[in-house]
Amino acid sequence: MLSNQELERYSRQMLIEEIGYEGQKKLKDGHVLVIGAGGLGSPALLYLAAAGVGTIGIADFDCVDLSNLQRQILHTTDRIGVPKTESAEKTLRALNPEVRFIRISDRITPENITGLIRDYDIVLDCTDGMENKLMINDACVKSEKPFVHAGVLGTSGQIMTWIPGGNYPCFRCIAGNEPADDSCESCAVMGVLGAATGTAGSLQAAEAIKYLTGAGDLLTGRILFFDLLRQDFTVLDIPERSPYCSACGKQERTA
């Protein structure tokens, strides 16, 4: 049941027909793991907590740096040097003390990720770096765990959702194998607009909320691209997974 305080807190959200009272209860019972408490994770975590997701995991092994603050809006200047999970929880608990927060401050690796994602309904990939994103993709596909991918560079970004039980492409279907180190562009080299990470992270939160409540249509079998410099949003249909994908495909590629 929702308390009187919760009914007031989430009253505007429950007015949305597709969510309502039952959807709000599903959010309260929901478990979401956000991997990365930086540019993408900051808005995603804020909106998940504000929406009343009952249990939120915050995974990040890094500490707050001055260069983070232009886009990582969970953190503040007086928390430079503080672990991001600690800083994030402090901000989020002040926003909504009724949510249960679980801090994961260890580096996530191929060896421990399967155990970490096990108890969550859906995972948000809010990391940077292709290696991390493919690791999360592969672990979630193997464990049949729904996840929302997002990536941002400069003023542009992309978002997609994968859920088990269908012919939906995973992120590796699109990205392929991990590119060579010298071919990977990064925010440290190419720059990033804070509002772009805010856009992508907010869309990730919306995907998780829709998944938990059953409202609306997910970005499954589709990938959304946006460029804020040109104010352009495009959704590309990718109706089938690659049969040669090393994560979800069923065929071996021949020479």
Is residue 253 scored above 50 in pLDDT? no
Q: What is the chain's length?
A: 255
Edge-to-edge strand order for the sheet containing 222-227?
100-104, 55-59, 31-35, 122-125, 147-153, 156-162, 222-227, 232-237
Is the pLDDT assigned to residue 97 strictly greater than 60? yes
What's the pLDDT at 187? 64
Judged against a pLDDT cut of 80, whether residue 182 lies above it is answered with no
Q: How many CB atoms lie within 10 A of CB 114?
A: 14
- pTM summary value: 0.94
Q: Average of pLDDT values for 99-124? A: 97
Question: pLDDT digits over 137-177, tens only?
Answer: 999 999 999 999 999 999 999 999 999 988 999 999 999 87
Domains plus CATH for the chain? 4-237 (3.40.50.720)
